[in-house]
């Protein structure tokens, strides 16, 4: 296949100006940056963020290309470093604002640096006008890859990084070549060469210089093709070697393993796939994948089906979080004569969570689980098909919940901070006349059930409104998170200690009686702390009428098609493969462009054969310091009939070797023919 795209800087064309960055360099860096930015988006499961950055990078690259093309090397172009620095400062100071601009969900707090780096890549591409700034783009890109790698939420980042590496290697090599070309020009080589050849000084210097170097002192260079080949070997070595390295350092690293703050990889992921975050926002519309995908298997000897993965006590601005003293009320100490029931839970998908049906008495499976302060558990090995067997405390059915536990008013479970007044009023009205705490809790649940409808497709709460208040009095429909939040806030308003809990509520059982926990079983509920029964579940969703088509248990996958499997995987791999192929293609084109050509290579081989023939005839290797003529002279006595032909060949070889004249097809063929002839004569 012959590539002929001079506008791209590829293939056969008029001699190119190789002293400046050209289209190929812009393409390489935009592909590399785009791979980094796309990976950043995918790390938070937000392809639209990745695409947004990619679009910006494409526009920025086009802009830079136009600037370079039309402004050449003017003073304005030389300000690119200053502009890049200014942009860096601007992005640092405005990271929060810029993060909010991003479509979909912005980067979460632990990944705020990714927002900075992503924006740096995107905005930086507008001012990459010279080698310095163009290559500097590699810095935010590598940092971004490193950050994504730390959080390990996008496994394909490795392949994206390899694609980036190929682009980077080719780009660096080309930039190095430009530096060398500049040095060659400064060394006075061309001027002297012109003087020697009596050529006019008006020759286009850069082009002429490059052509002369390529066929002269740079003929044997390990150039961009070596850079690309090195990068490919590096990629291969990494693919093969990284697991070995990881395994070999595991024993050492195991002693001081550092936990990285977990990142919720996005609103559209499977609820099983990510670790429950420290902060949970509610009322954000259909934002969780609720499909029939099985995520856990659960079997129990008891009655409890509510499986907890996250517990929260502090409410502010539509968000639940965990107060430092959240562990104060964790544990079975409030349950009177608790039952100990055995249960088992098996993960069907990779997940750091281990949902539990209550406070845990003991684990009977290998102890790699970590207990969180509020009583939930995390696994350090999130692989699928891990099964855990444990014993949980369950409330004794002999005792009913009647009175709430009297907690200190300072306890976060009783905090009435940030409860909207209208919600508190609504709660107080609802419990008027109730005699016991249990009755109060029931009335609150009923009031919620009467006030609102359940709708799994309910829209998001506007940013300027409290989700609970909006849910109860304006939208009047919602799903589990706002139901549970309303219940907790209202309970606290009337003095009951309550907490917000997330987890799974499975319905379906298999033939063996095991519950199959599906994605769509992801749920939230309220728990109120009662004397004798401990934390008691109040799920108001059961009492509310459901909007048609919005019932609980409906499959709800709000993701666009490109985020659903298998399209997501195909797209991911496709983009990375296209990136790698593009980088490879550009590198290959570069290689072709720099090659001295097959004829020259054949010529070199022919000369090698000639030298070997003379060495055999002479019985000694050629000395380093021997010129071709001296070498021939010392071998002449051993050449017999071939002496004259060898002298002729030597003359023709020397003419080509020591000049920049191209090797013609005719010259090459005649040399090869004469070489065969010489071989016969020497024999």
Partner 1 sequence: MASLFLAVVAVLIQAPSLFYMGTALFALIGGSNLQAWLAVRGLRFDRLPVGSARVGDLVTVEVQVWSDYRIRRPLITIRDVLPDKLLYRDLTPSLPIAPAYDLPIETQYQFRPLRRGKYRWSKLIVTGSDSLGLVTKQLGVRTEPVELTVVPRPIPVSLDLPLAAGWGISEAESGQTRGAGIEPRGIREYNTGDSLRHVHWKSSARAGKLLVKEFEAGTHAAAAFLIQRTAGSDIVNKERSSLDLICGHLLYLAEVFLQQGAKVEFPGLSAHSAHGSVPDRLVEIGEALASIEDDQPAPVSSEVTRILPTLPLGSVLFVSLTVPDPHLAEAIAAGQTRGVTVVPLLYDARTIAPRAAASATDSGFVESLRRANTNPVLMPMEVASDR
Q: Which is nearer to partner 1, 98 or 235 (CB)?
A: 235
- Interacting positions 230-249 with partner 1 (CB under 8 A): 230-231, 233-235, 237-239, 241-243, 245-246, 249
145 binds partner 1 (CB under 8 A): yes
In angstroms, give the least distance from the CB of 239 to partner 1.
Answer: 7
Q: Which is nearer to partner 1, 160 or 441 (CB)?
A: 160
CA distance 628 to 622: 9
Tell me which stretch binds partner 1 (CB under 8 A): 64-72, 269-277, 413-421, 622-630: 622-630
In angstroms, give the least distance from the CB of 69 to partner 1.
Answer: 25
Residues 6+ apart with CB under 8 A from 429: 447
- 175, 203, 361, 647: which one binds partner 1 (CB under 8 A): 175
Q: Which is nearer to partner 1, 95 or 262 (CB)?
A: 262
User: 427-439 in b/e burial notation, b at 16+ Cβ within 10 A?
Assistant: beebbeeeeebbe
Q: Report residue 7 CA to chain centroid gap.
A: 32
- 33, 45, 125, 158: which one binds partner 1 (CB under 8 A): 158
633 binds partner 1 (CB under 8 A): no
189 binds partner 1 (CB under 8 A): yes
Helices (H), 366-479: 421-430, 437-451, 467-470
597 binds partner 1 (CB under 8 A): no
Q: Tokens for 397, please give them.
A: 């059915």
Q: Which is nearer to partner 1, 239 or 416 (CB)?
A: 239
Q: Which is nearer to partner 1, 189 or 567 (CB)?
A: 189
- Rounded to the nearest 10 degrees, how much is the dihedral formed by the CA atoms of 305, 309, 313, 314? -140
453 binds partner 1 (CB under 8 A): no
146 binds partner 1 (CB under 8 A): yes
CA distance 631 to 199: 34
Burial-class residue 462 by CB neighbours within 10 Å (0-12, 13-18, 19+).
Answer: exposed
Q: Which is nearer to partner 1, 149 or 553 (CB)?
A: 149
In angstroms, give the least distance from the CB of 222 to partner 1.
Answer: 4
- 66, 82, 96, 253: which one binds partner 1 (CB under 8 A): 253
Let me know how long the chain is. Answer: 683
Tell me which stretch binds partner 1 (CB under 8 A): 71-79, 218-226, 533-541, 632-640: 218-226
Q: Hey, how many other C-beta atoms are within 10 angstroms of the C-beta on 420? A: 18
In angstroms, give the least distance from the CB of 176 to partner 1.
Answer: 3
Residues 6+ apart with CB under 8 A from 441: 404, 491, 496, 528, 536, 538
Q: Please provide residue 633's backbone torsions phi and psi, each rounded to the nearest 5 degrees.
A: -60, -40
- The answer to whether the CB of 132 falls within 8 A of the CB of 73 is no
In angstroms, what CA-CA distances link 65 with 21, 127, 240, 389, 473?
A: 9, 10, 38, 61, 55
CA distance 637 to 632: 9
Query: Binders of partner 1: how many residues, by CB under 8 A?
Result: 68
- 59, 81, 83, 152: which one binds partner 1 (CB under 8 A): 152
187 binds partner 1 (CB under 8 A): yes
- Interacting positions 635-664 with partner 1 (CB under 8 A): 657-658
Q: Please provide residue 56's backbone torsions phi and psi, each rounded to the nearest 5 degrees.
A: -60, -40
584 binds partner 1 (CB under 8 A): no
161 binds partner 1 (CB under 8 A): yes
In angstroms, give the least distance from the CB of 141 to partner 1.
Answer: 10
Q: Tokens for 117, please give them.
A: 């780096």
580 binds partner 1 (CB under 8 A): no
Tell me which stretch binds partner 1 (CB under 8 A): 92-100, 165-173, 458-466, 542-550: 165-173
173 binds partner 1 (CB under 8 A): yes
Q: Tokens for 103, please give them.
A: 């479509």
SS3 assignment, position 607: helix
Q: Which is nearer to partner 1, 249 or 384 (CB)?
A: 249
In angstroms, give the least distance from the CB of 658 to partner 1.
Answer: 8
Q: Tokens for 246, please give them.
A: 């990881």
The residue ranges of DSSP E strands in 330-452, in sequence order, are: 339-347, 360-363, 369-371, 377-379, 387-394
- The answer to whether the CB of 477 falls within 8 A of the CB of 455 is yes
Tell me which stretch binds partner 1 (CB under 8 A): 115-123, 152-160, 467-475, 661-669: 152-160
Sites of contact with partner 1 (CB under 8 A): 142-143, 145-146, 148-152, 154-155, 157-158, 161-162, 165, 169, 172-173, 175-176, 179-180, 183-184, 186-189, 192, 217-224, 226-227, 230-231, 233-235, 237-239, 241-243, 245-246, 249-250, 252-253, 256-260, 611, 622, 624-625, 657-658
């Amino acid at each position: 296949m012959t590539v002929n795209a001079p506008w791209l800087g590829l293939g056969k064309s008029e001699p190119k100006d190789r002293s400046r960055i050209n289209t190929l360099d812009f393409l390489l860096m935009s592909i590399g940056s785009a791979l980094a930015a796309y990976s950043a988006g995918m790390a938070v499961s937000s392809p639209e963020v990745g695409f947004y950055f990619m679009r910006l990078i494409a526009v920025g690259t086009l802009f830079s290309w136009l600037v370079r093309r039309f402004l050449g090397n003017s003073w304005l172009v030389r300000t690119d470093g200053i502009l890049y620095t200014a942009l860096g400062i601007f992005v640092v100071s405005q990271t929060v604002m810029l993060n909010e601009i991003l479509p979909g969900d912005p980067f979460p707090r632990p990944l705020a640096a990714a927002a900075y780096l992503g924006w740096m890549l995107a905005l930086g591409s507008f001012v990459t006008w010279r080698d310095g700034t163009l290559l500097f783009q590699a810095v935010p890109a590598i940092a971004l890859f490193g950050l994504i790698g730390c959080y390990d939420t996008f496994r394909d980042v490795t392949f994206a990084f390899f694609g980036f590496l190929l682009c980077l290697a080719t780009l660096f090599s080309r930039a190095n070549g430009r530096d060398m070309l500049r040095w060659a020009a400064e060394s006075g080589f061309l001027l002297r060469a012109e003087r020697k050849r009596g050529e006019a000084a008006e020759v286009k210097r850069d082009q002429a210089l490059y052509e002369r170097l390529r066929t002269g002192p740079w003929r044997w260079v390990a150039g961009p093709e070596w850079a690309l080949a090195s990068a490919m070997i590096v990629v291969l070595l990494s693919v093969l070697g990284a697991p070995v390295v990881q395994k070999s350092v595991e024993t050492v690293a195991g002693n001081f393993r550092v936990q990285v703050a977990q990142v919720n990889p996005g609103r559209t992921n499977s609820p099983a796939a990510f670790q429950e975050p420290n902060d949970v926002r509610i009322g954000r519309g259909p934002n969780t994948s609720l499909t029939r995908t099985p995520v856990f298997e659960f079997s129990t000897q008891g009655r409890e089906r509510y499986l907890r993965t996250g517990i929260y006590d502090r409410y502010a601005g539509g968000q639940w979080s965990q107060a430092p003293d959240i562990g104060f009320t964790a544990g079975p100490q409030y349950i009177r004569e608790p039952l100990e029931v055995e249960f088992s839970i098996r993960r069907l998908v990779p997940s750091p969570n281990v949902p539990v049906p209550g406070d845990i008495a003991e684990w009977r499976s290998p102890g790699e689980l970590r207990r969180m302060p509020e009583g939930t558990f995390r696994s350090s090995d999130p692989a699928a098909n891990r099964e855990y067997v444990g014993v949980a405390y369950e409330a004794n059915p002999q005792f009913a919940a009647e009175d709430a536990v009297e907690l200190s008013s300072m306890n976060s479970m009783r905090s009435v901070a940030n409860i909207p007044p209208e919600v508190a009023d609504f709660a107080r009205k609802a419990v008027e006349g109730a005699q016991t705490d249990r009755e109060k809790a029931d009335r609150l649940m009923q009031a919620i059930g009467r006030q609102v409808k359940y709708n799994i497709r309910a829209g998001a709460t506007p940013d300027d409104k409290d989700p609970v208040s909006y849910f109860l009095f304006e939208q009047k429909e919602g799903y589990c998170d706002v139901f549970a939040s309303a219940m907790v806030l209202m309970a606290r308003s009337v003095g009951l200690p309550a907490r917000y809990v997330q987890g799974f509520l499975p319905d379906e059982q298999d033939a063996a009686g095991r519950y199959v926990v599906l994605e769509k079983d992801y749920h939230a509920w309220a728990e109120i702390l009662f004397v004798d029964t401990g934390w008691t579940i109040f799920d108001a969703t059961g009492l509310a009428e459901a909007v048609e088509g919005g019932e609980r248990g409906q499959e709800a996958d709000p993701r666009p098609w490109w985020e659903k499997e298998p399209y997501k995987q195909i797209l991911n791999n496709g983009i990375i493969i296209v990136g790698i192929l593009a980088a490879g293609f550009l590198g290959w084109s570069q290689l072709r462009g720099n090659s001295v050509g097959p004829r020259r290579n054949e010529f070199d081989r022919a000369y090698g054969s000639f030298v070997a023939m003379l060495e055999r005839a002479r019985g000694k290797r050629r000395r380093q310091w021997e010129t071709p003529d001296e070498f021939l002279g010392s071998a002449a006595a051993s050449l017999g009939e071939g002496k004259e032909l060898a002298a002729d060949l030597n003359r023709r070889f020397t003419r080509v070797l020591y000049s920049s004249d191209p090797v013609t097809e005719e010259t090459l063929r005649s040399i090869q023919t004469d070489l065969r002839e010489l071989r016969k004569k020497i024999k």
